[in-house]
Amino acid sequence: MEASFFSTGCTHLKQSHSAEFVLERGGLCKWNQVHLFPSKRALTPLVVQFGNLKQNHSQVRNCQLKEVPIIEAGCMEEIYDTLAERVVPVAAAESNPHFKYIVGLCGPPGAGKSTLASEVARRVNHIWTQRSSVVDSQVQPLAVAIVLPMDGFHLYRHQLDGMEDPKEAHARRGAPWTFDPKRLLRCLGNLRDKGSVYAPSFDHGVGDPVEDDIFVSLEHKVVIVEGNYLLLDDEVWRDISSIFDDKWFIDVDLEKAMERVRRRHISTGKPPDVAKWRIDYNDRPNAELIMKSKNKADLIIKSVDFLR
């Protein structure tokens, strides 16, 4: 895991730090490997700052640090580029065909997890294609990055119907206990052990998972798992979190996040009063719980005003 980031085009990128970052990922601190794939744009290493102590890459890459890097940027495009450049060197350095660099991307509803995950994956695939030693215009390049949403691990509606209070279960759908974390843990464990796995997606129109709809293949090197509770410090969720090579958290102002969720509810046909009730009864309590888990992250992405 890199101890710093690279500016790739926008006018401003600031890195600050909060508590509890440990740099000890089994020798993955390989910041200079980015130079294995020369980019068309100059990549300028930023200085890492911890309190009053400034250190460059060579000074910090072998240290154990107790702080969480925070990314702040002037535009989302730079954050997407920076995160892509963060994972590409690690994926490129591995020759094991079963290797997976698994990122856990966490954040409350309305934080922009799906957009960030898809944009980073798209950029990783683009970078990989550009820097590949074999370029054949007649061959469709293989995707090396893929997004695996946690949504596919919702409990089915019939499972909610079988609970002690089905009405409450459906009203609170999206809370941690309306997911199947043991199934997600098995899926990620199989992915780690075997290098490939079939996973469910979620059909929002039907309101249920779609079995075996996502295939993570041996060719995929970077898997971005995105979801609300991936860093939750509780029971099975803790085991899920331990699988990730890198843990990202999107830090967002809750009022802005809830406004995005409100607009999302209305766009799906819910009347404004129902949307407000849904937020007050379910979305906001879930979001408040999720925000408590951000200190478990390896990287905090603070882009409140810019996430789509």
Q: 307 lies in a domain? A: no
User: What is the structure's pLDDT at 302?
Assistant: 82
Q: 1 lies in a domain? A: no
DSSP-assigned states of every residue in the chain: --SS-EE-SSS-EEEEEEE-----SSS---GGGGGGS--SS--EEPPEEETTEEE-HHHHTTS---EEEEEEESSHHHHHHHHHHHHHHHHHH---TT--EEEEEE--TTS-HHHHHHHHHHHHHHHHHHH-S---TTSPPPP-EEEEEGGGGBPPHHHHHTSSSHHHHHHTBTBGGGB-HHHHHHHHHHHHHHS-EEEEEEETTTTEEEEEEEEE-TT--EEEEEESSTT--SHHHHHHHHH-SEEEEEE--HHHHHHHHHHHHHHTT--HHHHHHHIIIIIHHHHHHHHTTGGG-SEEEE-TTT--
Instruction: Find the domain containing 244 and state its range.
Output: 6-302
Q: 98 lies in a domain? A: yes
pLDDT mean for each 10 residues of the chain (308 residues): 35 40 33 28 30 33 58 82 92 83 96 95 92 59 91 97 97 96 98 96 94 96 97 95 97 94 94 96 97 95 58
CATH of the domain at 280: 3.40.50.300
Q: 277 lies in a domain? A: yes
User: What is the structure's pLDDT at 87?
Assistant: 92
Give 259-290 pLDDT, tens digit per residue: 999 999 999 999 999 999 999 999 999 999 99
Q: 158 lies in a domain? A: yes
Q: 83 lies in a domain? A: yes
Q: 94 lies in a domain? A: yes
pTM (two decimals): 0.78
Q: 257 lies in a domain? A: yes
User: What is the structure's pLDDT at 305?
Assistant: 57
- Number of domains composing the chain: 1
